[in-house]
Chain A
Amino acid sequence: AQSVTQLDSHVSVSEGTPVLLRCNYSSSYSPSLFWYVQHPNKGLQLLLKYTSAATLVKGINGFEAEFKKSETSFHLTKPSAHMSDAAEYFCVVGGGVNTNAGKSTFGDGTTLTVKP
């Protein structure tokens, strides 16, 4: 069984300040973890993924996430927010080694607002 909890439904930051979107997961095995972004009226786009290699993962647009097994967390960060970062962000837990690798579970999303 697997599940994912995004701890904040809404996050608001000022342009140029750091972004932190929090995600905790639960999994019976070593999972794959992903962050997707969804801009209004657009499809979901992959930001980054963790697949049991380096625990600090770098993604597109300056985002990165750190896998912390002891905390079962995979928080998304960015040093300096840009107006174009305003969107909905989804944390996803997927299958791992020797599991049903195709199964994935989405969190409920975090809406990021960036103020000028």
Chain B
Amino acid sequence: EAGVVQSPRYKIIEKKQPVAFWCNPISGHNTLYWYRQNLGQGPELLIRYENEEAVDDSQLPKDRFSAERLKGVDSTLKIQPAELGDSAVYLCASSLEPQAGGAYEQYFGPGTRLTVT
């Protein structure tokens, strides 16, 4: 079974430029997550989708970040314009829909390492 696929793996851009990340979740996983991981820290949730619906985007900086999950499968995360502080690893994860007991496990992609210069 293929895992979570992300592209690109690495991206270097100048500040004020736009950038986009793409994620293909595991087949059958309704829930998709985008995280940002700064150096030396744990991942922080940016947005969570259940199918096409963004059910938690409270931590997404909406002035410059946007995301979409058309057709409830692939997802794209965009930053426009990028700032120096956006340098981080952007992780995508997917899971089955949370169970009634609250148990779920997330499967992570390898991440995209973004460097803004």
Interface residues of A (CB under 8 A from B): 30-32, 34, 36, 41-46, 49, 51-52, 90, 94-97, 99-104, 106-109
Q: Let me know if A44 and B43 touch, CB within 8 A.
A: yes
Chain B, interface residues (CB within 8 Å), range: 20 to 34
Total inter-chain residue pairs, C-beta < 8 Å? 78
Q: Supply 5 further A-B pairs (C-beta < 8 A) apart from A30-B102, A101-B98.
A: A32-B101, A43-B111, A44-B43, A94-B104, A106-B42
Report the minimum CB–CB distance from B72 to chain A (whole Å): 15
A90 with B104, Cβ < 8 A, contacts A102-B31, A103-B56 known = no
Query: Chain A interface: which of B13-21, B44-52, B78-86?
Result: B44-52
A51 with B56, Cβ < 8 A, contacts A42-B110, A43-B109, A44-B43 known = no
Q: Let me know if B108 and A43 touch, CB within 8 A.
A: yes
Report the minimum CB–CB distance from A112 to chain B (whole Å): 15
Q: Let me know if B105 and A101 touch, CB within 8 A.
A: no
A97 with B4, Cβ < 8 A, contacts A90-B42, A102-B56 known = no
Report the minimum CB–CB distance from B40 to chain A (whole Å): 7
Tell me the bound Cα distance from A94 to B106 in angstroms: 11
Which residues of chain A are near B4, meaning CB under 8 Å? 43
